[in-house]
A and B are shown apart, each in its own frame.
Chain A
């Protein structure tokens, strides 16, 4: 892929902003690592060799009887009995953190929440689950939620803004009034009402937040379209008989991309904050799922166990900080008036 000179300059500008560039690298690294969370922290071994056969328990399910046990159900590899069965006839490799986000550790030396130790690097929470494992999974779900929400709100927001800006007039007038009313609906109460009817899960939360989050994009895109629809080359295209849809896509949307991309990282961090806030209040992801907001809540409830509060605080702080640094770098790199040395 070849870059146009303008985009090359933008990329160089982005890279020359050291803080933003390194934030971007660290963030990408953390995100990629958390994508493979199942292989970093899991209650199943990565690899089992049993009677000269290789097993991959994370990908496939094996019954206990496979390894000479008694039950037809899936093997519990943390059970000392199963461990013994496998180790006597082969070996197994465990992930770095041998707990999943919902693994309840039954052989803790101290009552939960247990402080950091060699076994649980960041301690356990008040339900005897490993904090580090929950952190990795929580980070992943936060970022994935942020990305999905950002993507869909961008899709809706950009099209709504484009239609308003391009057609203007009455459509614009009425749609703006509609948005003023719509934005006055409090998201939190809608969620609380919803939580009393259904058990909110990832997709429910996404849908509800999406109902309101797309409006952030409309203003930016609408302004760009209002400005650009009277440019000479758009008029020329209209005189040629190019359809409205094509004019929007081919001639106008490229003008709005810069504004939209600038908005992206900030929208992403806002989505992450929203999800954490809902989890903190208990209206978020279903109980038991790994989430940073829930961990903040545990930290508040267990002030005698500062590792809970500190871990969630530093993770959220780091993640949001990185996103904002990246966002600033992108904003500056796309700003044509900003000169770089």
Chain B
């Protein structure tokens, strides 16, 4: 039996409208971005979260690391309740949960060179490490994600999208986290580059015994990388299960519709 590292119980995320003033008898208007979602994540496994644009995938991810407040529910990390954690305790958790973002170039500060970018988590969480040790670790990490270490002084705009995403992955990995939340990490990339980046993630996952939460709207990618899949529709869980089962035997009509929308390379073989 594998260790359960993260379990999410019935979390809800509400976004309130921008209206500033309410009479006491008025109710605040809000949107239920995530509505009553629960899942468990085990060590070394990958959970794919799929759904169409605006269904709350990213909100769910950002709620898990407490970047946006949750309206109700519980987030258990290694058996401890994250929602009760204060800022300093949360800081320790942030070492263990890292994130990879959708737009590889936009998620890197254009004014920092990639050595500084990859080192930033280290400098933030361990401010006392010597500079040359940081540099060695950064170079090692660059090798691991398939970047040449002599590119350390370049700036993000000098790299291609795939390379930028590798930088993002290196930044996420340098603290040796237990869980990485990938928020549509490949949707901004070409198909050929997508495969490289995903295979890189898979290899790294095997090497470092990482757990992944992989958010995507592309079902074929989810099928390739995920052990379990959670299908979201307007913030609600539609279907959840093992990847293979879900693809071979979808039960909900929305899942069926999603699967049928995936283009097949050779339609005659259908």
Contacts A241-B91, A241-B94, A254-B111; A232 near B103 (Cβ below 8 A): yes
Interface stretch, picked from B9-17, B118-126, B217-225, is B118-126
Contacts A232-B101, A241-B91; A251 near B109 (Cβ below 8 A): yes
Q: Which A221-238 residues sit within 8 Å CB-CB of chain B?
A: 231-233, 235-238
A252's nearest neighbour on chain B, judged by CB, is B109
Contacts A235-B67, A236-B101; A241 near B107 (Cβ below 8 A): no
B156's nearest neighbour on chain A, judged by CB, is A233
A300 at the interface (CB under 8 A from B): no
In whole Å, how far is A12's beta carbon from the nearest beta carbon of chain B? 19
Q: Check A237 against B120 for contact (C-beta < 8 Å).
A: yes
Q: Which of A232, A238, A239 has the most CB of B within 10 A?
A: A239
Q: Which residues of B contact A251 (CB under 8 A)?
A: 109
B78 at the interface (CB under 8 A from A): no
Contacts A239-B65, A239-B94, A241-B91; A246 near B106 (Cβ below 8 A): no
B186 at the interface (CB under 8 A from A): no
Q: Check B106 against A238 for contact (C-beta < 8 Å).
A: no
B98 at the interface (CB under 8 A from A): yes
A5's nearest neighbour on chain B, judged by CB, is B155
Q: Check A235 against B101 for contact (C-beta < 8 Å).
A: yes
Interface residues on chain B, size class = 20 to 34
Q: Check B124 against A243 for contact (C-beta < 8 Å).
A: yes
Q: Which residues of B contact A231 (CB under 8 A)?
A: 106
A240 at the interface (CB under 8 A from B): yes
Partner of A246, one of B65, B110, B111, B124: B124
Q: Tally of A-B residue pairs with Cβ under 8 A? A: 51
Q: Check A233 against B124 for contact (C-beta < 8 Å).
A: no
Cα A192 to Cα B90 with chains together (Å): 54
Q: Which residues of B contact A241 (CB under 8 A)?
A: 90-91, 94-95, 121, 124-125
The number of residues on chain A lying at the interface, defined by a beta carbon within 8 Å of a beta carbon of chain B, is 16
A242 at the interface (CB under 8 A from B): yes
Chain A contact residues, majority secondary structure: helix
Contacts A242-B120, A251-B109, A254-B111; A236 near B99 (Cβ below 8 A): yes
Q: Check A239 against B67 for contact (C-beta < 8 Å).
A: yes
Q: Which residues of B contact A235 (CB under 8 A)?
A: 67, 101, 107
B138 at the interface (CB under 8 A from A): no
Q: Which residues of B contact A239 (CB under 8 A)?
A: 62, 65, 67, 94, 98-99
B6 at the interface (CB under 8 A from A): no
Cα A239 to Cα B66 with chains together (Å): 9
In whole Å, how far is A168's beta carbon from the nearest beta carbon of chain B? 12
Q: Which A32-66 residues sit within 8 Å CB-CB of chain B?
A: none
Q: Which residues of A contact B111 (CB under 8 A)?
A: 254
Q: Check B124 against A240 for contact (C-beta < 8 Å).
A: yes
Q: Check A240 against B103 for contact (C-beta < 8 Å).
A: no
B230 at the interface (CB under 8 A from A): no
Q: Which residues of A contact B168 (CB under 8 A)?
A: 236
Q: Which residues of B contact A238 (CB under 8 A)?
A: 67
Cα A232 to Cα B98 with chains together (Å): 15
In whole Å, how far is A186's beta carbon from the nearest beta carbon of chain B? 31
Contacts A238-B67, A241-B124, A242-B120; A233 near B108 (Cβ below 8 A): yes
Cα A236 to Cα B107 with chains together (Å): 6
In whole Å, how far is A129's beta carbon from the nearest beta carbon of chain B? 52
Q: Check A240 against B106 for contact (C-beta < 8 Å).
A: no
Q: Which residues of B contact A237 (CB under 8 A)?
A: 109, 120
Q: Check B94 against A240 for contact (C-beta < 8 Å).
A: yes
Q: Which residues of A contact B109 (CB under 8 A)?
A: 233, 237, 250-251
Q: Which residues of A contact B65 (CB under 8 A)?
A: 239
Contacts A232-B103, A235-B67, A235-B101; A240 near B108 (Cβ below 8 A): no
What are the 5 tightest A-B residue pairs by CB atom distance, in nearest-first order? A241-B94, A232-B106, A232-B107, A233-B109, A236-B107
Residues of B near any A CB (own CB < 8 A): 62, 65, 67, 90-91, 94-95, 98-99, 101-103, 106-112, 120-121, 124-125, 168, 171
Of the A-B pairs whose beta carbons lie under 8 Å apart in the complex, a sample of 23, sorted by A's number, is A232-B101, A232-B107, A233-B106, A233-B107, A235-B67, A235-B101, A235-B107, A236-B101, A236-B107, A236-B108, A236-B168, A237-B120, A238-B67, A239-B65, A239-B67, A240-B171, A241-B90, A241-B95, A241-B121, A241-B125, A242-B124, A250-B109, A251-B109
A-B contact sample (8 more), CB < 8 A, given A236-B107, A241-B91, A241-B121: A232-B103, A233-B108, A235-B101, A239-B99, A240-B94, A240-B120, A241-B94, A250-B109
